[in-house]
């Protein structure tokens, strides 16, 4: 019973610290999504030069995409004319950070972590992209023409709020909850002296954390409470930083898709940039930067400093965010178990077909599939049901082209729903 009470206390404390910054981060994510849409930046990523690589890293650092969402986006950029170097730069820099995760890093781990994190993501993205352009001499595909449908009577403010607090929140709510639970369990169950007693060498700390981070999935925001909890138990700031960088940027699924979509050379460069960048950054933090810089946020969690955000605002933010997350989980449950809709588009004389697509995990996956399938000749409309892993396609449908497009994006086409 003591452990259960301790767990809930730690969970509430972490959630209170994060919730105001998460809400602000979600709002900024909505602003980025609406006012800086992806189709407007493709023209800055197409050339095989350092400028395109830098542009991709600059674009990727603030975007709130984790590794599950960044893969279809990055692959789509490449299919639409971005160079491999720019695509790799985007794939490296994007999942490591985001406006939401930077704010959460500040709230739980302090300003130095929040500053160093996007800088390292930016540098590793540029290095990875530049090396890819150097070693991969494969001819880039020609840039296709993309007709982006105009939105009539578009309420951008409403669309911004919907994306921020419905779509984007739906993408990371599960992983955020998992990260908070893991962090609270670590804090409540692992003895304070565990890492000092059994893994006292800081380089062994980093190697163990790096080995565990590469295959597992954790979003940039969800990684923060876990890293903070590990630091409270004695791992070095450098090892915690390794987890913050390598955890969100890699997982087994990401590695497979990049290898398939961009090739082995791009995959090797991608992994090497992240691993070497994270490890070197950890060493620099441990050996060359003041240790006091990287304990400020942890001191605030323990109450050694006054709260940056008033306690009443923390609780109000937690209640609001908790309600939004509960709504997301309820909607996900309803959509998952309602009957498959085979003919959701009511247009006269329009044929529809429903296909099964595996591997879609977030609203960015949904948008990527809908966008790329709708560009196929004869297809007039595509509606994806993310929970049921289906797509209703309207128009003259060539299923072979649909299968090829879906598989090229890194998903798995499973055939027509009978």
Report which DSSP code applies to 342.
Answer: S
In tens, the pLDDT along 327-372 reads 989 988 887 776 655 544 444 445 889 999 988 877 778 888 888 8
pLDDT, averaged across the chain? 80
- 305 and 371, same domain (yes or no): no
pLDDT of residue 316 exceeding 90: yes
- 7 and 64, same domain (yes or no): yes
- 274 and 392, same domain (yes or no): no
Burial class (CB in 10 A: 0-12, 13-18, 19+), 82: buried
**Residue 290 within any structural domain of the chain:** yes
- 192 and 280, same domain (yes or no): yes
pLDDT reported for residue 42: 58
pLDDT of residue 121 exceeding 90: yes
Q: What CATH number is attached to the domain comprising 410? A: 3.30.70.100
The lowest-confidence range among 116-120, 283-287, 356-360 is 356-360
In tens, the pLDDT along 25-50 reads 788 778 877 876 555 555 677 677 89
**Residue 347 within any structural domain of the chain:** no
pTM of the model: 0.71
pLDDT reported for residue 148: 42
In total, how many domains does the chain have?
Answer: 2
Which among 337, 314, 328 has a CA at the least distance from the CA of 176? 328
For residues 331 and 261, the model is more confident at 331
pLDDT of residue 279 exceeding 90: yes
pLDDT band with cut points at 50, 70 and 90 for residue 137: low
In tens, the pLDDT along 381-400 reads 899 988 888 999 988 888 88
- 228 and 146, same domain (yes or no): yes
pLDDT reported for residue 35: 77
d(CA 67, CA 121): 13
Find the mean pLDDT for residues 410-416.
Answer: 86
pLDDT reported for residue 40: 57
Query: Looking only at Cα atoms, what is the longest distance across the chain?
Result: 72
pLDDT reported for residue 418: 67
- 273 and 412, same domain (yes or no): no
Residue 31, sorted as left (phi over 0), alpha (psi -120 to 50) or beta, turns out to be: alpha
- 253 and 385, same domain (yes or no): no
The answer to whether 349 and 394 are in contact (CB under 8 A) is no
- SS3 category, 244: helix
- 200 and 107, same domain (yes or no): yes
pLDDT of residue 238 exceeding 70: yes
d(CA 320, CA 189): 29
Domain boundary residue among 281, 298, 321?
Answer: 321
The answer to whether 362 and 68 are in contact (CB under 8 A) is yes
**Residue 334 within any structural domain of the chain:** no
Find the mean pLDDT for residues 108-125.
Answer: 93
Q: Which domain holds residue 401?
A: 352-416
For residues 124 and 182, the model is more confident at 124
- 394 and 283, same domain (yes or no): no
Neighbouring C-beta atoms of residue 337, cutoff 10 Å = 9
pLDDT reported for residue 142: 44
**Residue 338 within any structural domain of the chain:** no
For residues 25 and 131, the model is more confident at 131
- 381 and 290, same domain (yes or no): no
d(CA 355, CA 407): 13
- 99 and 33, same domain (yes or no): yes
pLDDT of residue 312 exceeding 60: yes
**Residue 329 within any structural domain of the chain:** no
The answer to whether 274 and 246 are in contact (CB under 8 A) is yes
**Which residue is listed with tokens 């998460």?**
22
pLDDT reported for residue 346: 47
pLDDT band with cut points at 50, 70 and 90 for residue 125: very high
């Amino acid at each position: 019973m003591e452990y259960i009470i301790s767990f809930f206390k730690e969970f509430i404390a972490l959630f209170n610290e994060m919730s105001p910054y998460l809400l602000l981060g979600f709002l900024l994510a909505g602003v980025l999504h609406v006012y800086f849409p992806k189709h407007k930046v493709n023209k800055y990523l197409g050339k095989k030069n350092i400028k395109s690589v830098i542009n991709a890293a600059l674009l990727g650092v603030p975007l709130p995409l984790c590794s599950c969402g960044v893969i279809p986006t990055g692959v789509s950029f490449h299919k639409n004319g971005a160079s491999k170097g720019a695509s790799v730069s985007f794939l490296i820099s994007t999942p490591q950070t985001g406006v939401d995760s930077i704010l959460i890093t500040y709230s739980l781990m302090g300003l130095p972590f929040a500053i160093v994190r996007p800088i390292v993501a930016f540098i590793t993205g540029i290095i990875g992209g530049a090396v890819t352009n150097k070693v991969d001499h494969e001819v880039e595909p020609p840039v296709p023409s993309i007709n982006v449908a105009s939105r009539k009577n578009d309420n951008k403010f409403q669309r911004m709020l919907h994306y921020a607090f419905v779509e984007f929140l739906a993408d990371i709510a599960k992983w955020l909850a998992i990260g908070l639970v893991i962090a609270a369990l670590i804090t409540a169950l692992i003895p304070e002296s565990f890492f000092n007693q059994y893994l006292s060498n800081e380089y062994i700390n980093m190697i163990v954390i790096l080995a565990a981070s590469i295959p597992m999935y954790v979003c940039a925001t969800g990684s923060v409470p876990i890293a903070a909890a590990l630091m409270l138990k004695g791992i070095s700031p450098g090892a915690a930083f390794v987890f913050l960088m390598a955890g969100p940027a890699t997982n087994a699924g990401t590695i497979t898709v990049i290898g398939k979509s961009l090739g082995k050379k791009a995959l090797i460069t991608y992994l090497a940039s992240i691993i070497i960048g994270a490890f070197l950054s950890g060493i620099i933090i441990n050996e060359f930067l003041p240790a006091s810089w990287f304990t400020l946020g942890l001191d605030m969690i323990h109450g050694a400093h006054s709260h940056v955000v008033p306690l009443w605002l923390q609780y109000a933010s937690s209640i609001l965010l908790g309600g939004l997350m509960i709504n997301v989980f309820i909607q996900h449950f309803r959509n998952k178990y309602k009957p498959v809709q085979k003919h959701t588009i009511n247009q006269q004389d329009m044929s529809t077909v429903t296909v099964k697509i595996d591997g879609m995990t977030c609203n960015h996956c949904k948008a990527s599939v809908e966008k790329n399938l709708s560009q196929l000749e004869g297809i007039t409309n595509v509606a994806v049901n993310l929970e049921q892993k289906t797509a209703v396609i309207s128009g003259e449908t060539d299923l072979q082209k649909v299968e090829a497009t879906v598989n090229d994006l890194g998903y798995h086409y499973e055939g027509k729903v009978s």
